[in-house]
Structure 1
Amino acid sequence: MRIDAALFAVALASPCAVPAKAQTIVDPHAVYERHCIRCHSEHGADLARLRMNVTDGKLLVRRNSGPMEKLLRNHQGITLTDAEQRGLLTLFVAGIKWDGVYQHRCAKCHGPAVSFARDKLAVAGEKILTTTGNRDVGEFLKSHGEATASEIALLMDMLRFQLETKPR
């Protein structure tokens, strides 16, 4: 994945972390929808931006500065597998990094990022292409909308994440 290495390390530094080869890839969006959306109506990345911080390399709950991985171990009676916890932590850390750029620049026309990316885009090596027309999304974004170069980089990172966490 293209998530910033330092931020990704926060997600993997939880006590439930296991060696990379042994990790099961889960769809963090499906985990969030299954276990969290009943009480937290905002999207997982939005929840992270609104209610969490990364401080000194740790993902913390903003209201009490408690570690997010501790909260996920048993929150409201919900028990998550280690892989589900890692998936959510990765989504939350990435959501903070993405800073709501998609929501601000793209969502009003393209809807939720996860469904847009998974329905309309595909990874092709280092590029992300449209599934109709094989258009290079990174190049297209330079003349589509009003995103800055740094926002385009965040969008590309976010879109790749959506595609790489898609169930196979």
Structure 2
Amino acid sequence: MKQLVKIGLAISVVFWAVSLNAQQSDPHLIYEQNCAACHVPHAGDFVSENLVATENGLVGKASGRLVLDFLEAGHGRLSDKEIDDLIDQFEFIHESGRLFQEKCIICHDNAAKFARLKLILRDDILTGRYTDRNVAEFLLHHGRLDATEAQKMVEILTHQLQVE
């Protein structure tokens, strides 16, 4: 019996450590915990208001300095993994534009929360968690999206599920 308790405790500790590590790699959480106190509350707003893309990567509008160099020099005191995750997220945000904010934010809180609470990937198809609807098909008639925007939104929402 004591052996079973020890095994159960060990499994619980491993599960907790794995889930903690997964949470720490969430770029939204990284931004909110390490950046939002001094910058705007959401990474999407930060990217659109403060960064521009160059052939070398994202740079600060005001400084002209590469964001990657700035973070690697110690700004935010992030680990290498956190920097990589944040840069990947910033680049994704920049590439995807402000589509969610322009078309969806009026009814849905934010893309990450919405995707993680309401959607799921089933056989690699973005699906309503509770409605079982194919999101790509649903968006063709929802949210004032044209076909190109609907496909882009599926990519954005799918990305939100995959970054955790």
TM-score (norm 2): 0.80
SS at match of 2:127: strand
User: Is the 1:46–1:95 Cα contact (8 Å) retained in structure 2?
Assistant: no
Superposed, 1:148-167 pairs within 5 Å as 148-166=146-164
Tell me, what secondary structure is at the counterpart of 1:110? Answer: coil
- What is aligned with 2:43? 44
Give 1:128's aligned residue: 126
Q: 1:46 to 1:150 in 2, by over 3 A?
A: farther
Residues 27-56 of structure 1: CA deviation (Å, up to 9, x unaligned) = 001101110111122411221122111211
Q: Give unmatched runs, 5+ long, in structure 1.
A: 1-23
Query: TM-score, normalization: structure 1?
Result: 0.78
Within 5 A, what are the aligned runs for 1:5-154? 26-73=25-72, 74-75=74-75, 78-154=76-152
Give 1 or 2 for the bigger CA radius of gyration: 2
Q: CA deviation at 1:124?
A: 1.9
Q: Deviations over 1:81-122 (max 9, x none)?
A: 111001110111111112111011111101111111000001
* Alignment size in residue pairs: 141
Q: 2:134 & 2:65 partners in 1: Cα distance?
A: 41
Is 2:32–2:41's contact at 8 Å kept on the other side of the alignment?
A: no
Shift of 1:160: 1.1
Unaligned 5+ segments in structure 2 are 1-20
Shift of 1:126: 3.1
